[in-house]
Amino acid sequence: MTVDFTLACHEYEWTKALWDGRVEPQGLELTTVDYTNPERFNRMANYREFDACEMSMGSYLATRSQAEEYPFTALPIFPSRKFRHAYIYKRTGAGIDSLADLEGRDVGIVNWQTTTGIWQRGIARERHGLDTTSVTWKAAKPEIVDLNAPSYDIEFLDRAGRSLYAVEDMIERGEVDAVFHPVFLDADNAERLFADPIETETQYYRETSIFPIMHTVVIRDDLLEEKPWIPQKLYDAFERAKRIGLESLERPREFPIIWANTFAERQHELFGEDPWEYGLTEDNVTTLETLIEYAHEQEVIPREYTLEELFETEHVNTEEYR
């Protein structure tokens, strides 16, 4: 007998096998659905529409001080990771040469608890000397999870639509001097703050061993209580799907990327066989504890949670995949 189970998750190359049926979680009749990132997070956080859901780490952290209102728990699965230096933009002609030059300036963000912003602000403060309390942060969208008002200078803009692209509008109008963005920013008067972001991010990884975790997978607490076997079966399925996805790097000529073979070789040299590792491995612990430290410093969370408080590990064995 199988259990009907709905998973909301993006169809990445490393999750695609869950979508097309090449991997089927044992004991689960899996239905996969997807929505844009903010919508998916909101539908899980505020309406519990799915049995399990790919969730922003920032929003998940924000739920933990109100756990009874957000009855779901994360599994140590991290389907989205991305370096963030490449998505920091400056307004052309604003006289900005480094992150420290943003002191006292206006900077556009999506919202305060976006994982992207937590990483970017934390890196800017810790590694580039920016006093983040001196910046006026202009947020284009409301928070997914209600926050107590942080002591930082944050202006929430009330604009029609409140789309991600409202951040682009800010810099195009000259309302901000920089943007901390989650994706490529298409504005004629903006350029990347780091001229060679790949080299900057490579050096950052070499110095820290951090490949920023953006998302986790959460599961409803009632399912954890009623069917504690589900987390292991779901974790196993994500691991198997990831391994199938990583096999594509053995055939990089199939990608529509000009230097795919060279890029695949460099990635393997720097990150090893599996840069997308799941579980609470040594590097993942370093990465998560850094994110937690940043989230606490930025008042997204009231204290630094332990990983045992955040992740279901009692019924998940990850050792066989190491």
pLDDT in tens, 216-271: 999 999 999 999 999 999 999 999 999 999 998 788 777 888 998 999 999 999 99
pLDDT band at 163 (very low <50, low <70, confident <90, very high): low
Segments of the chain assigned to CATH 3.40.190.10: 3-81+212-321, 85-208
Q: Are strands 213-220 and 52-56 parallel, antiparallel or unpaired?
A: antiparallel
Q: How far apart are CA 239 and CA 87, in angstroms?
A: 29
DSSP-derived secondary structure letter, 311: B
Nearest CA to 147 out of 228, 48, 64 is that of 64
Closest CA to 155 of 165, 144, 168, 170: 170
Q: With bands split at pLDDT 50, 70 and 90, how would you rate the model's confidence at 148? A: confident
Q: Give the Cα separation of 25 and 240 in Å (integer).
A: 10
pLDDT band, residue 121 (cuts 50/70/90): very high
In this prediction, residues 170-177 reach a mean pLDDT of 93
The pLDDT of residue 167 is 85
How far is residue 206 from each of residues 92, 128, 200, 214, measured CA to CA in Å? 30, 16, 10, 19
Q: What is the pLDDT of residue 13?
A: 94
Phi, psi for 265 (deg, rounded to 5): -65, -45
pTM: 0.96
Mean pLDDT of the chain: 94
Say whether pLDDT at 184 is over 60.
yes
Q: Where residue 136 falls among pLDDT bands split at 50, 70, 90? A: very high
Report the pLDDT value the prediction gives residue 97, as an integer from 0 to 100. Answer: 97
Classified by CATH at the fold level, domain 3-81+212-321 comes out as: D-Maltodextrin-Binding Protein; domain 2 (3.40.190)
% of the chain beyond a pLDDT of 90: 85
Given a cut of 70, whether residue 45 has pLDDT beyond it is yes
SS3 content of the chain, % helix, strand, coil (to 5): 40, 20, 40
319: number of Cβ within 10 Å: 6
Query: Are the beta carbons of 181 and 202 closer than 8 angstroms?
Result: no
> Does 141 score more than 90 pLDDT?
no
Average pLDDT over residues 162-173: 77
- Check residue 158 and give its pLDDT: 66
For residues 33-39, give the mean pLDDT.
94
Domain 85-208 CATH (choose: 3.30.2130.10, 2.60.120.380, 3.40.190.10, 1.10.274.10): 3.40.190.10
Mapping DSSP to helix (H, G, I), strand (E, B) and coil, where does residue 53 land?
strand
pLDDT range class, residue 160, cuts 50, 70, 90:
very low
The average pLDDT across 184-204 equals: 96
